[in-house]
Each structure stands twice: as C-alpha cells, then as structure tokens.
Structure 1
Amino acid sequence: MNRKDPTIDLPQKGVAEMLGKEAALFVPSGTMGDQLCPLTLTRPGDEVIAHEDAHVLHYGAGSVAALSGLLLRPVPGALGGIARVISALGEPVATGWKAA
C-alpha cells in the first residue's frame, strides 16, 4: 500500500532538505526511533557501544535487546570521548559479516 499523506510527506521532505539528505522518515515516537536506528545499522547478536548515560541504556536497553537482538555496552567517560569508545571495542566475540 502506497498512500501519500501531505501531513507526513511535507515535514519529511523539509527535514531531508534541512539535513542535506535524499529522504527522511517520520516516526511517531522517540521509542520507535530508538528501535529503528540500531535495526538499520546492525544484525541480531551485534553489540552497540553507548555512553553510560545514553538515553537508550536507561530507558530502552531491554527493548533494544528484545526487539533487535542487540547487546548494549555502556562506556564511561566524558560525553563525546571517542578515544574511550575505540579502546572499549576490543575484538568482536562473533560476527556475521566481514568488513570490505
């Protein structure tokens, strides 16, 4: 089914243009966005690194694990501290794909 709804299409188009992207997707809640984002970038069984104070760890970790099959790993440190994230990565326990 492909219905056009201007109340959704117009804001999606505006956000896509604002961000310089080809398209945007409207989701009716932050919870839905919290689920869609990891689903588009991962596979079940993957690990997601997040700051220890990340919203998804405190308010959505169980749902991410249950619905996406992902493990969330909290990383301590200053917000935006990419060096700590990189050092926390280590070797993957298992992987279903190989980098190109």
Structure 2
Amino acid sequence: MEYKSQNVVCQNCKGNFTIEPDDFGFYEKIKVPPPTFCPECRLQRRMVWRNDWHLFKKKDARTGEEIFSFLPEESPVKIYDRDYWISDAW
C-alpha cells in the first residue's frame, strides 16, 4: 500500500508532528495504530517510569563483579560495566 506523509495534532500538547510514509508501513507490520502523541510527549511518558532515584547492587554479566545499577537484582536484564559497554570488546 502506498502511504503519504500525514500531519497530526498531538493529543497532549496540541502541537503538530508528521508521520512519514515509512512509519505507516512499520506500524502496519507490527500491528499497532499510528501515534496520537508527538515524539516529545511520548518521550515524556516513557521517562516518567525511569528510575533515577534508587540504585541497586547487581552483578556484571561478564565478570560477575558487583556494580551499581538502576535495575534491581531480580531484573532479568543483563548489565555490564561502563568501560566494557562502550568498548569494542563485544
């Protein structure tokens, strides 16, 4: 299906944002409706749930060394120390 760019008014801030043709194809592929909030408002909604206040000790997935993380120990997400994360050692 051929899509065209669409200008949409954000339901939250009432600002205009554009949904590009490639975006519509992606939304159809993953079977979700197009967004009704602008990218900035969507980011704000995601950041509300971000944990910047509590730190937990969690084991580094590579070395097993304890490091500080914003993820609790019971979280299944693997974490790595900063130096390894930004290196090319993967």
How high is the TM-score relative to the length of structure 1?
0.27
Question: Which protein has the bigger helix share?
Answer: 1
Larger radius of gyration: 2
Question: Which protein has the bigger strand share?
Answer: 2
How high is the TM-score relative to the length of structure 2?
0.29
